Amino acid sequence: MPTTARDRLANLADKLGKSQTEMRAIVDAYFDDLLEHLKSEGHVSIPGIGIFKTVTRAARPGYNPFEGTRTLIPESLRVTFQPAKKTSERLGLGPMGPIVTQPVRKPKKAKSKLNKVAS
């Protein structure tokens, strides 16, 4: 069964001897500060955890399958995460590169050349 944010806060509050209300205020303030820094600076490094970076994804052509029309998907801001070595090791993941939000493209199939038999 997955744990919830409430479960995590209760566990943290017990470990630190604080009330859940106090812990929620502390955690919310910490993440608000991280997000503000990420927005203004474009990256946040949390030692032992990893690095969050913002990247701008360029505008690109798209297709609306419901209307059958081509459209332009506007430029957008994405957040990427690269785990620290310590995080990867603790989770048993081995060395990992950055996790990027772009889809993986399938390689095109090579066209087969048929040998024509002379008759």
Tell me, what's the pLDDT at 119? Answer: 45
Question: CA–CA separation, 84 vs 39, rounded Å?
Answer: 21
Do residues 56 and 80 touch, judged by C-beta distance below 8 A?
no
52: left (phi over 0), alpha (psi -120 to 50) or beta: beta
Domain boundaries, the chain: 1-41
pLDDT digits (tens, 9 = 90+) for 40-50: 999 999 999 99
Residue 44 CB-density burial (10 A; 0-12 exposed, 13-18 middle, 19+ buried): buried
* pTM (two decimals): 0.61
